[in-house]
Amino acid sequence: MLNNEINNFVGKKIKELRQEKELTQMELSKMIRVDESILAYYEEGLLELTVSKLHALAENLDVSYSFFLPKQKRVK
């Protein structure tokens, strides 16, 4: 996968989980200590997450890091 595809995948997972937990962008952005516009960029796949922000998201949304990563196909 290309970086852009990964960013889009991760962004969709963030948005999906945020909505499932019934959080607004403002609420989640405060939880992970970023501006609301930055969270919107993450969700749209326009900005790459840092490891520390990925950790903050996983911790605050009560999921593992792997939730945000695409499953890799095994090559035989």
Q: Each residue of 3-56: pLDDT tens digit?
A: 889 999 999 999 999 999 999 999 999 999 999 999 999 999 999 999 999 999
The domain spans of the chain are 3-63
Which of the listed CATH numbers 1.10.3720.10, 1.20.1300.10, 1.10.260.40, 3.30.1540.20 matches domain 3-63? 1.10.260.40
Residue 1's pLDDT band, with cuts at 50, 70 and 90, is low
Residue 27: Cβ-neighbour burial (10 angstroms; 0-12, 13-18, 19+):
middle
Q: Which whole number is the average pLDDT over 54-64?
A: 95
Give, rounded to a whole angstrom, the gap between the first and last alpha carbons of the chain.
18
Cα distance between residue 15 and residue 22, in whole Å: 10
- Check residue 76 and give its pLDDT: 63
Q: Residue 57's pLDDT is what?
A: 97
